[in-house]
Amino acid sequence: MRILILTAHPDDMECTVGGFLFKLCRAGHEVHTIIATSGRKEKQWNGRSHVEVREEESKLAHNMIGATPHFLQTQYPNLCLETGSLFDTRETRELVCYLVNSEFNPDAVFTFWPVDVHPDHRMISTLTMNACLQKGMNREIFCFEAWAGTSEPYPQSLCFRPTHYVDITDVLAQKKMMVFCHQSQNPQGLWDSDLKLAEKRGYAYECNIEFDPEVQIYAEAFIRLTREGGLCHELEEFLKA
């Protein structure tokens, strides 16, 4: 099974769906991440290009699980993509449509929930929806959520009502290692936020299953937007309603 993730920034995958993707890769599935922006060209971190540092951090995290990142800002410099400057133009729309429907043609697509306080998150979601919800298509598409990695974590995705959960309790340590690859992004703050969200979603997941009350469950949550039909067998192994 081929899975395609579309995100806005180099650390988005790890913070939002890192546990799920680790499980997919461990089971032998093919996972690709499209990362729309990699930073700001004029910015530096420890004397190095911010863009280069962030892409290196992302590659390290992807290598940990065997997934493949694709950086649009670097691969398509003519589009002038930058963090904070991702827009729905004819060029970006056509590129994302081509990547989703021709170059990768995945069995399932995952991206941000479109109601999000971060403009880059909203935009990559819009571009992905445009590619997946074409007339006559029934692409399997799921949305994930994000929380801000601040001293007081708060939801960036609004009105998020999950339809499916993935239990990541057994891979929580691997998810943490992936997040801490991003040393330029205050990884402890990111992880504190991710852990709080995983606890919250784990509790919601517990309400739908029989579980040992002595065991803390951690989960990642999703909203399915596919037009019709049930989940394929491979996805059913991971995603639970």
Query: Which tens digits make up the pLDDT trace of 150-202?
Result: 667 789 999 999 999 999 999 999 999 999 999 999 999 999 999 999 999 99
Which residues is 71 bridged to in the sheet?
35
Q: What is the mean pLDDT of residues 130-134?
A: 92
Q: What is the DSSP letter of 240?
A: B
- Predicted pLDDT at 41: 78
Task: Please give the model's pTM, rounded to 2 decimal places.
Answer: 0.94
Average pLDDT over residues 123-139: 91
Instruction: Give the Cα separation of 227 and 73 in Å (integer).
Output: 31
Q: What is the CA radius of gyration of the chain?
A: 17
Specify the CATH number of the domain 2-236: 3.40.50.10320
| Residues 6 or more apart in contact with residue 170 via CB below 8 angstroms | none
Return the pLDDT at 208.
60
| Whole-number Å distance between alpha carbons of 235 and 4 | 13
Instruction: Determine the Cα–Cα distance for residues 52 and 177; give it in Å rounded to an integer.
Output: 20
Task: Give the span between the Cα atoms of 160 and 143, in whole angstroms.
Answer: 9
Burial of 229 (0-12, 13-18, 19+ CB in 10 A): exposed
Q: What is the mean pLDDT of residues 124-146?
A: 92
Domains of the chain, residue spans: 2-236
pLDDT (mean) for 27-42: 94
Q: Cα separations (Å) of 150 from 40, 189, 229?
A: 20, 6, 39
80-84, 175-179, 208-212, range with the lowest pLDDT: 208-212
Tell me which amino acid residue 197 is. Answer: L
Owner of token pair 């993509």: 81
Residue 170 backbone dihedrals phi, psi, to 5 degrees? -80, -10
pLDDT in tens, 10-22: 999 999 999 999 9
Q: Are the C-beta atoms of 113 and 6 separated by less than 8 Å?
A: no
